[in-house]
Homo-oligomer: A and B are copies of this chain.
Amino acid sequence: MTNKLNLNNLTKSEEDYLKALFQLLIEDSSVKVGNNQLADYLKVSPASTNNMIKKLKAKNYVVSEKYGKLDLTEEGKSIAVRLIRKHRLWETFLCNYLNFTWDEVHEVAEQLEHIKSKKLINELDRFMDFPEKDPHGEMIPNADGEYSILPKITLSSLSDGDVCQLVAVDDGSVNFLKYVSEIGLALSSEIKVLEVREFDKSIRIQFDNTIETVTRKFADNVFVKKVV
């Protein structure tokens, strides 16, 4: 018999590394994730990630060969998903009950996701009547770690004439989120791509009788579902 659940006893740092690796891996499961990439993502030195990866390998959360790419074990994935569940439930709570705006929740959720109490998070889930999505449109895993992958592509991947619906946004940048709200975009907005300009990849879009030009960088952080 394998360990029931040795899923506790992880430090905040260990949890953060596992979550980061998980997020890098699902961004594009075909592309491998290396040590330096993880270091970049977490804004620490490659030496730090190297060291932590050693520890996580010893604990059987990560697998990799020397000089090879990184991967998570099932156990490692499970911990990452649980963190993401907590993060998104807290963001939802802050937005829907405590008057936080969608650009304010991420930072606080980064702290709250490390609170250790199964009951706390499951009761919070029940209190909110089991929400499916967080304020940025991302799916919330259930208590068993299950969640549907929402079909999303970036706005930047579309072409002239495409029509799409905004399904989610990257929640990492406060400035970006404020910007999205300010120009009038929100979850479910229907967006028509008028023109992708070759010169600088900027995109002219139309939504709700508004026409705006957004940069490639902006469009990289907007996730959509094609309609036409």
Contacts and interface: CB of A to CB of B under 8 A. Distances in A.
A112 to B, nearest CB: 6
B97 A119 contact: no
Interface in A119-142: 119-120, 123-124, 127
A94 B120 contact: yes
A38 to B, nearest CB: 26
Interface in A85-109: 94, 97-100, 104, 107-108
Given A94-B120, A120-B94, A108 B100 contact: no
B111 A115 contact: yes
A116 interface: yes
A116 B115 CA distance: 13
Contact of A116 (B98, B104, B111, B123): B111
Interface string A172-210: 000000000000000000000000000000000000000
A89 to B, nearest CB: 12
Copies assembled: 2
B94 A127 contact: no
Contact of A112 (B104, B115, B119): B115
Nearest to A117: B108
Nearest to A123: B98
Nearest to A115: B111
Size bin of chain A's contact surface: 10 to 19
A97 B97 CA distance: 12
B100 A123 contact: yes
Nearest to A121: B98
A94 B124 CA distance: 9
Contacts of A100: 119, 123
A204 to B, nearest CB: 37
A103 B192 CA distance: 56
A116 to B, nearest CB: 7
A117 B123 contact: no
Given A98-B123, A100-B123, 16 more contacts: A94-B120, A97-B127, A98-B119, A98-B120, A98-B127, A99-B123, A100-B119, A104-B119, A107-B117, A108-B117, A108-B120, A111-B115, A111-B116, A111-B117, A112-B115, A115-B115
